[in-house]
Amino acid sequence: MKLTDDAEVEKFRAEFAAFLDANLPAETEATERPRSTSHIPEWARRWQRKLFEAGWLVPGNPPEYGGRHATLPQMVAHQEELSRRRIYHSFNPQGVGIIAASLLSFGTEEQKRRWAVPILRAEITASLGMSEPGAGSDLAGLATRAVADGDHFVVNGQKVWTSGAHDADVLLTFVRTDPDAPKHKGISVLLIPTATEGVTRRPFASINGAHDTDFNEVFFNDAEVPKENLVGPLNEGWRVANGSLGHERTMLWLGYVEWMDDVIRDSPCPHGEWYADLLMDRQALRLLGYQQLSGTRNPAEVSVLKLFGSEAVQRATLHALEAGGAESLLHPAQTGPYSHMSMESSWASWFERYTRSFGGTIAGGTSEIQRNIIAERILGLPR
């Protein structure tokens, strides 16, 4: 245990900080705003490509995939430097963090070249098709069917909550390829270009406002997808799902720390008792996150980080909302400093910050599911 970082991490951090200082796009250049999580304005594409080429996009990757073989503590330092400055490294976060990562873990060399690299270089954007109207917490119950037919699959079914789909070039889609196998064993993963005939995307607005159309319903109607777009082995999609989300989950806590840091910085009420709890939650989450990085813990402990982090953000944003009293009715409103390098939501009205916190407690395994996992896989209670 020690408070300071290793010299290698410090050096890495300083190098990245210097890169950011020298290369950050100017505010005047960054006027066009991203409208969804798969829409990257031209200036932000140039920015992401610059990070890719310098090996600063996903530092844990090898250089040919936008990294520099960084260690986990170095990756944490990277993320900390970005969030301290309220900078997004990619405005297609799920494309870089989940889809490209999955392709690098499970894809063929051709898939890496054809899809992963363009996603990382911001030449194309990607969205993730997992949830369905009938498959949320019970994701393995998904019903979208893909039937092999010669050199392609024919896909029929529906996805929902597909963030950014209407702006995405490709969807990493979880489909059922063996309806007779036990539900976890008949799932496969397909890369489905959104331009494919039979793919219909319908964005819909969220509780945040009629303009907030990131979510999509996606309908597949006899969509033909080449067999070479199968990611990982046939019927092994559940393994890919765990792998892709696993990637994201190791570092997920950092996102919650970042949200809490934003509330701490922008809080209208730094002497409220809830603010003390926020300071403690933020510190404790960081400590538990670092503890998890050491790799000595039960992997199920990531559920502790997710549950605790997402609910701490929710408490904090709720208290900040309430602390504003009637002033908090204003919406849209700016509650933090404008930052051209991040999404509007990071300085949005307290109402929006609070409602967005439900993304943390519902998406990626609800808090209720996390509690079940903690009770069963850590405490050993019967299923």
DSSP 8-state assignment for residue 250: H
CB closer to another protein, 242 vs 294 = 294
Rounded CA separation 225/231 (Å):
12
Closest CA to 37 of 161, 121, 175: 161
For the bound state, the minimum distance from the C-beta of residue 303 to another protein, rounded and expressed in Å, comes to 9
**SS in 3 state form for 257-301?**
HHHHHHHHHHCCCCCCHHHHHHHHHHHHHHHHHHHHHCCCCCHHH
Contact (CB, 8 A) for 60 and 87: no
CA distance 324 to 309: 23
Q: Which is nearer to another protein, 179 or 270 (CB)?
A: 270
- Min. distance of Cβ 2 from another protein in angstroms? 5
Shortest distance, position 115 Cβ to another protein, whole Å: 36
CB of 358 to another protein, least distance (A): 18
Of 245 and 304, which CB lies nearer to another protein in the complex structure? 304
The CA-CA-CA angle for residues 103, 78, 278, to 5°, reads 110
108 or 283: whose CB is closer to another protein?
A: 283
Closer residue to another protein (CB): 16 or 65: 16
Question: Least CB distance from residue 250 to another protein, whole Å?
Answer: 15
Q: Using the minimum distance from each CB to another protein, give the nearer residue, 178 or 376.
A: 376
Q: 105 vs 366, which CB is nearer to another protein?
A: 366
The residues binding another protein (CB under 8 A) are 1-6, 73, 270-273, 275-277, 279-281, 283-284, 286-288, 290-291, 294, 296, 304, 307-308, 368, 370-372, 374-376, 378-383
d(CA 197, CA 367): 38
* 73 in Cβ contact with 63 (< 8 Å): no
Note the Cα 69 to chain centre separation in Å: 21
| Smallest distance from another protein to CB 278, Å | 9
Question: Least distance (Å) from another protein to the CB of residue 249?
Answer: 16
* In the complex, minimum distance from the CB of residue 309 to another protein, in angstroms, rounded to a whole number: 10
Query: Could you tell me whether strands 187-193 and 170-176 are parallel, antiparallel, or unpaired per DSSP bridges?
Result: antiparallel
Closest separation in Å from C-beta 292 to another protein: 9
* Between 29 and 301, CB nearer to another protein: 301
Angstrom distance (rounded) from CA 213 to CA 206:
6
Considering beta carbons, is residue 9 or 230 the nearer one to another protein?
9
Residues 6+ apart with CB under 8 A from 362: none
Spatial contact of 70 and 9, defined as CB atoms under 8 Å apart = no
**What residue has token string 């980080």?**
305
Contact (Cβ atoms closer than 8 angstroms) between residue 74 and residue 8: yes
